Amino acid sequence: MMDLAAVKETGKSEFGGGVVMKKLITLVLALVGVLALVSCSSNSTPANMQDVLKGNQPFYYAANGGSDFASVNIADIPSLFNSDDAYMAIQNYAMIDLDGDGSEEAVVFVCGVAGDTGGYLVLHSSDDHVYGYRTDYRTFENLKTDGTFIYSDDLGSKEGVATIGFTQDGLVITDVLSATGQAYTMDNFMINGKKATQEEYNAEKENQDLKNNVEWHEYPIS
């Protein structure tokens, strides 16, 4: 004759074991999700990038509009930006993955007595070499952790939000948002290359402002 009490106890045991197993599976899946998120969101800094920033290794600086590259040291950058300004110096820098490939670039801010003769140096590592590209002082305003930033021209005829990428030809700036016009009066608006209204453009600019700012570090590296 079947022992009903034993059956009930066995059922309880199996039920309890099933609950524990479900909890373990849920925990494992959650852990896998966290690890995947960390893996996707963490970026690495190339070892040669730190050597370049510390002045221990030269890098290839894009000269003559990017048509030539000269081997220089980070200490040479202030004079390359403006040899007539004795106060030109590297002020600070940020480490950020600009092109989304998982490897960080360095954005170096260079400034002297006259701010408009300074600008930014973008250091990018590729094939075990570091390449440096100069950009205007009107770039990288409010640089965000996703690599987007505000830019403008000195004539007041264009402004917007852009990203940076790298090709065999060098550094490429791509508009995310843009507004063009004359004398700081904008009348043509674009979002991701498509025509937009001023209201749509302003809404996207507000969303841009809500993003997290990148962290800037004092230079030189201690």
With contact defined as beta carbons under 8 Å apart, do 179 and 189 qualify?
A: yes
* Averaged pLDDT score across all residues of the chain: 85
Contacts of 189 (CB under 8 A, 6+ apart): 177, 178, 179, 195, 196, 197, 198, 200, 201
State how far the Cα of 173 lies from the Cα of 5, in Å rounded to an integer: 75
pLDDT, tens only, 199-220: 999 999 999 999 999 999 999 9
Contacts of 218 (CB under 8 A, 6+ apart): 92
Contacts of 204 (CB under 8 A, 6+ apart): 161, 177, 191, 196
Q: How many CB atoms lie within 10 A of CB 183?
A: 8
Contacts of 145 (CB under 8 A, 6+ apart): 96, 211, 212, 213, 214
pLDDT, tens only, 138-195: 999 999 999 999 999 989 999 999 999 999 889 999 999 999 999 889 999 999 999 9
pLDDT, tens only, 66-114: 779 999 999 999 999 999 999 999 999 999 999 999 999 999 999 998 7
pLDDT, tens only, 121-143: 999 999 999 999 999 999 999 99
What SS3 state is found at 144? strand
With contact defined as beta carbons under 8 Å apart, do 106 and 93 qualify?
A: yes
